[in-house]
Chain A
């Protein structure tokens, strides 16, 4: 933890919202991106991110500096994500259908904004949206816990042990959730699965 970060934390603990805002600036992209992939909706992700930060600000007195600030913040994030109940499957299915229709017919992609505008032409842009759509759909097939496990592992780089402690589950559950997540993604993204002979040997079966 840098001295600047420590100073900001002390100021924020004294009630300085500006200091906390500056502190948050270093992590807000990371938190938002994770929230976006967890909720699969930009507006929900925005709400969830704000909720995480507000909870962190209120609970800042409990931060003792035993672990890094981000480790402490991540636990708040995990708890907040798991308690988040807004993104239900039904709404997601309706939104997915609307996106396909809007993008295909009108070129209207406002629902997925603020996705980036890296694509140089409409065709590439469309392909990107579809790819994101497929990935989000695959993530939507997972339970919230499986989805969070996958994101914490792949995006956050947490170990099995850290994830199992954060979510209060076994490492076996973590590994199964990861394999299931990858298989679902493979299925949704159209990546060719293992040949038949491999499936017969058992390693490629669904969990």
Chain B
């Protein structure tokens, strides 16, 4: 049963050759029996024919195509040119290479290089660490850690030396019982020095010492470094 309201889709199929031959013939026979659908079909077909005429007219003349092709060829050559350029030697490319880096990134890199170079030039105190750790690691038992309290105590000894000349002036006997010679560890280690110092200075105890009216006392402070 023919229904004009369903013909729109079928006419499109017919005009644009979407139907097989059998279906095409069946539809054409159906349209042929409906004056309205036949008229619509003819007007649409005529439209397509006119369109095709316009298309034929609008297609460029033969003289157009060589220039069109040449333009395309040149564009393609330009596009393909970078691939054809002979490559320079590797060392030259490295030397002339330009690396686009943002300024902040470049600044950070330069700063990092400077810091690392300064650190590298400093005398390293940790160089011996690997050796020490190696020696520790070679022992069979793990190292035992003993915590020892370190008391930092500074003993200040003030020794008063009296010049020998002054003693002689005051008529104090050299081998006076109040005068005693003490031997410090330093002195024990260096007897020659002791003798030299003994010639010049005499260590005296000032207990029960009555200074004369005129006496010049010279106090010599020993430094810690003298003990070493």
Chain A interface residues (CB < 8 Å from chain B): 15-18, 20-21, 24-25, 28-29, 32-33, 36-37, 42, 46, 49-50, 53-54, 57-58, 114-118, 128, 131-132, 134-136, 153-155, 157, 159-160, 175, 178-179, 182-183, 185-186, 189, 191-195, 197-198, 201-205, 207
Contacts and interface: CB of A to CB of B under 8 A. Distances in A.
A158 to B, nearest CB: 10
B180 interface: no
A178 B46 CA distance: 15
A160 B18 contact: yes
A160 B37 CA distance: 23
A132 B39 CA distance: 25
List the 7 shortest-distance A-B pairs measured between CB atoms, nearest first: A198-B36, A201-B4, A17-B80, A135-B54, A194-B40, A203-B7, A202-B5
B61 A131 contact: no
B171 interface: no
Majority DSSP secondary structure for residues of B touching A: helix
Interface of B: 4-9, 11-13, 15-18, 35-37, 39-40, 43-44, 46-48, 50-51, 53-55, 57-61, 63-65, 68-69, 71-73, 75-77, 79-80, 83-84
A192 B8 CA distance: 17
A132 B72 contact: no
A21 B9 CA distance: 42
Contacts of A135: 50-51, 54-55, 58
B143 to A, nearest CB: 65
B58 A115 contact: yes
B36 A195 contact: yes
B55 A155 contact: yes
7 contacts: A33-B55, A49-B68, A179-B8, A193-B43, A195-B39, A201-B7, A204-B36
B71 A50 contact: yes
Contacts of A201: 4-5, 7, 36-37
A57 B79 contact: yes
Contacts of A132: 54, 57-58
A204 B30 CA distance: 16
A154 B16 contact: yes
Given A153-B16, A186-B46, A191-B43, 17 more contacts: A17-B73, A18-B73, A32-B60, A57-B80, A58-B79, A115-B57, A157-B17, A175-B9, A175-B13, A182-B12, A182-B44, A194-B36, A194-B40, A202-B8, A203-B37, A204-B8, A207-B8
Nearest to B65: A29
A54 B77 CA distance: 10
A161 to B, nearest CB: 10
B79 A54 contact: yes
A31 to B, nearest CB: 10
Contacts of B36: 194-195, 197-198, 201, 203-204
A151 B92 CA distance: 54
Contacts of B76: 17, 20-21, 24, 53-54, 57
Contacts of A29: 59, 65
B58 A203 contact: no
B30 to A, nearest CB: 12
B48 A203 contact: no
B80 A15 contact: yes
Given A17-B77, A115-B58, A116-B60, A185 B51 contact: yes
A186 B43 contact: yes
A46 B68 contact: yes
Given A132-B54, A186-B47, A53 B11 contact: no
Given A28-B68, A195-B36, A195-B39, A37 B50 contact: no
Contact of A194 (B5, B13, B43, B58): B43
A114 B61 CA distance: 7
A114 B72 contact: no
B12 A203 contact: no
A183 B46 CA distance: 11
B222 to A, nearest CB: 90
